[in-house]
Chain A
């Protein structure tokens, strides 16, 4: 109980990942969807850092860095697209983005 092992971190990572997935599936607003995506990426980062620590291997930390870089560029491109969409349609709800519905 008092000794924190790798399993504790993996369980925490699982809990955070499922919170993020619930957010992805529940939200209608696209901005809130982006927030949930950030939660997903962060939970995976915790798992990487924990494995890197308990196996004495730096590869996990390296991948965590690349995940952070990808998250930063995703936010930049995604927010740009969101602003363009908001200028045209004046809302960012997911339900209104059904122009390709058959």
Chain B
């Protein structure tokens, strides 16, 4: 009973929030609606008993990703209204619903034929966080490490792309060049 009420409540809220994100013409509204939708999605994870996943959803999405977007929006001119494509909305809606149903069929086809079995069944008598840790650090250790390397690569590329004068390297330059650069910088500050 309680599960049904919470499911329908959060389903309605999430769909409303994401609909606002997709349709609004103001970037700030879209950002805040997206952040709210992320929080509401974590509610589904808590209902489903995936506590750790819900916590990670809140921390990573509403914390890190939304902060990054808010930071990125400071670079762009977001005060003006966004222009939108005015294509045939019937074709667009039809195509997206078709593709979404196709994705669900891809997911559900092996289950309907009912020959899937739990490869890593839930360990009895352990909390969700412990179960996740047990599976993540035994069966999925190498993907976990690869994901860590990927995040490192993403961090370095983000710094290099967004930072200023990242094409210069202080360790590769001679002392004279560094001195010239400092003098130029001081000139710019003084002028």
Please indicate whether A and B come from the same complex rather than being unrelated chains.
Answer: yes
Q: Does B85 contact A (CB under 8 A)?
A: yes
A82-B72 contact given A27-B84, A35-B21, A35-B31, CB 8 Å threshold = yes
Check if B84 sits within 8 Å of A77, measured CB to CB: no
Q: A31-B76, A73-B150, A76-B155 are in contact. Are A23 and B84 (CB under 8 A)?
A: no
B104 an interface residue at 8 Å Cβ cutoff?
yes
Interface size of A as a range? 35 or more
The interface stretch among B45-53, B169-177, B179-187 is: B45-53
Sorting the interface of chain B by its residue count into under 10, 10 to 19, 20 to 34 or 35 or more gives 35 or more
Contact A65 B136 (CB under 8 A): yes
CB contacts under 8 Å to B, within A1-48, are: 1-4, 6, 8-10, 12-23, 25-29, 31-32, 34-36, 38-39, 42, 44-47
Contacts of B168 in A (CB 8 A): none
The answer to whether B69 and A17 have CB atoms under 8 Å apart is no
**Is the CB–CB distance between B118 and A15 below 8 Å?**
no
Chain B residues 139 to 191 lying within 8 A of chain A, measured CB to CB, are 139-140, 143, 147, 150-151, 153-155, 157-162
B76 & A86 in contact (Cβ 8 Å cutoff): yes
With A13-B104, A25-B95, A58-B132 in contact, do A79 and B158 touch (Cβ < 8 Å)?
yes
Q: Is there contact, CB below 8 Å, between B7 and A72?
A: no
**29 pairs across A/B with beta carbons < 8 Å?**
A2-B4, A9-B48, A13-B104, A16-B14, A16-B18, A18-B96, A18-B99, A19-B15, A19-B19, A23-B21, A25-B85, A25-B92, A25-B95, A27-B22, A38-B65, A42-B37, A42-B38, A45-B41, A49-B50, A61-B53, A62-B139, A65-B132, A65-B136, A70-B150, A71-B61, A76-B155, A79-B69, A84-B161, A92-B76
